[in-house]
Amino acid sequence: MSPVQFYFDPACPWTWITARWVVDVAEQRHFDITWLPFSLRHRNIDNPGYDRIRDELDAQHPGMRVIEAARHQYGNDAVGRLYTAFGTLIHHDRDDNLTRLAEGIAMANLPPVLIDAATDESFDAGIIASTDAGRAIVGDDAGIPIVVIDGAKSTFFGPVLSPAPTGAEAVELWDAFVTLSRFDGLYEIKRTRSVGPIFGPRP
């Protein structure tokens, strides 16, 4: 594991924004990120609030299997590249059902045969285990994004950003986030969102 672990589902626009922020900071601060799948489909299987996107989550699930297969066969860097590719297709190109799955694999510079994992149910167990591990960290009333920092006393759901700061401001927010993680009595900082997801440039 690298010093920072990031739980993600390519389906989530808010997690995508936070991920781009963490990648920006990682490039400036020179740390690695371990990418860990967190299935919103599994997490919210009995949550009626997710019924409106249930079809999209089902349609994108083959992509999660491909990510899990890549994690086993090619390692963490391949997972990061796939997340970038799938997130770009879903959130910037509006491929909500990830119909361009094969193209996403090619964008990540991975072998086309990896698409065979899309229909392989054996990869579901690893996705569920990773999702449950993320839930165990932040509790059942939280979701993604989850950013885990080694040595932190606390890990939180979030931050939820729209838009995410970039450059020097991205690092400034990161330092504040790290500071908050040092307090084990801190549980929640929140306000009502007044905007939808505002994405940065297409990767």
Residue 125: the pLDDT is 97
State how far the Cα of 26 lies from the Cα of 37, in Å rounded to an integer.
Answer: 19
> Do 15 and 84 contact (CB within 8 A), yes or no?
no
In Å, the largest CA–CA distance within the chain is 48
State how far the Cα of 18 lies from the Cα of 31, in Å rounded to an integer.
Answer: 16
- For 70-125, the pLDDT digits (tens) are 999 999 999 999 999 999 999 999 999 999 999 999 999 999 999 999 999 999 99
State how far the Cα of 15 lies from the Cα of 37, in Å rounded to an integer.
Answer: 12
- For 32-41, the pLDDT digits (tens) are 999 999 999 9
Residue 92: the pLDDT is 98
Average pLDDT over residues 148-171: 95
Q: What is the pTM of this model?
A: 0.94
State how far the Cα of 149 lies from the Cα of 16, in Å rounded to an integer.
Answer: 18
| Element housing 33 (H / E) | strand 33-37
| Element housing 127 (H / E) | helix 124-138
- What lies within 8 Å, CB to CB, of 169 at 6+ separation is none
Residue 112: the pLDDT is 98
Which CATH superfamily hosts domain 4-180? Glutaredoxin (3.40.30.10)
Q: 3-state SS of 134-162?
A: HHHHHCCCCCCCEEEECCCCCCCEECCCC
What count of other Cβ atoms lies within 10 Å of the Cβ of residue 57?
A: 21
- For 10-45, the pLDDT digits (tens) are 999 999 999 999 999 999 999 999 999 999 999 877
The answer on pLDDT for 49 being more than 90 is no
Of 60 and 45, more confident: 60
DSSP state at residue 8: E
